[in-house]
Amino acid sequence: MQPETMMNTSASTRMILFLLFGLFTGGLFSCAKESSLVQPDVKSGSLARFVVHQGYLYSLNHHEVITFAVQADGVPLLVDRLPLDYGLETIIVYEGLVYVGARTGLYILDIAQPGKPVMLSRTERSQSLLGGCDPVVVRDSFAFSTVKIINTICGQTNVRSALLVYQVADPTAPEEVGQYDLDEPNGLGYKGDVLFVCDEGSDRVVLLDIADPRFVKLLDIEVPIEDPIDLIIHGERMVVATRTAFQFYDIQDIQDIRPLGTISK
């Protein structure tokens, strides 16, 4: 399938997740008009391979960030290709920067000129974590990335899986400030000072205290759930995508997380 199609099976599943979550919260679309383009306010998961930001769509193939201008008629126009190393996995936009998780590390891109992303930096990863899948979320000056190395997902022998924490106050020189071993971590998201991580290996969503990102602490709270893959947090709600369903939770009280319902895939 050509990169310009921007859609594969996993991407289709994520789009369904976006739509379900929007319908569930009652606010998928906002009417914030930018030029002549009305854009949906869609919150993506950390495993997304494409993202829309300020009239541009940024998409990944295995070795490029592909930029499309989203025209007034909704038709995307290819405007740029940025070659990076092979093994690009996930992409998000946070405060005017693009973060790309790859099997070799984390890339940070500048989109001051949104139609032409420029690479600012790339992190290095220890040998034991090379080749792992790499979803990422960013909060203030810190990026949180899970690295899962398992032969059925990333084509690698299972060596080590972990949560990595980067200081990204200077996007040209990110600094790794912590590593925390997990079983088989997948997607992640946060609410305030609490990071939620899908840990497929232990069939649960684990919660971590990130009030001080340099000293992350595992909380004695978890959400038992079979095969969690990715999650989205929006206000007081969380939706978790598993291999068979979308499961919804009320997370208003972190000490009392309540299931709200399930939609089978």
Helix (H, G, I), strand (E, B) or coil at 14: helix
Q: Is the pLDDT of residue 33 over 60?
A: no
pLDDT in tens, 132-181: 567 899 999 999 998 876 554 455 454 568 899 999 999 999 999 998 98
CATH number of 3-264: 2.130.10.10
Task: Indicate the domain borders of the chain.
Answer: 3-264
Q: What is the DSSP letter of 43?
A: P
223 has a pLDDT exceeding 70: yes
pLDDT of 126 reads 60
Model pTM score = 0.80
Pull the structure tokens for residue 189: 């998201």
From CA 82, how far away is CA 188, in angstroms rounded? Answer: 26
CA-CA distance, 107 to 85, in Å (whole number)? 10
In angstroms, how far is CA 66 from the centroid of its own chain? 17
The string of pLDDT tens digits covering residues 240-254 is: 999 999 999 999 999
Question: How would you label 211-237 residue by residue, b for 16+ Cβ within 10 Å and e otherwise?
Answer: eebeebeeeebbbebebbbbbbbbeeb
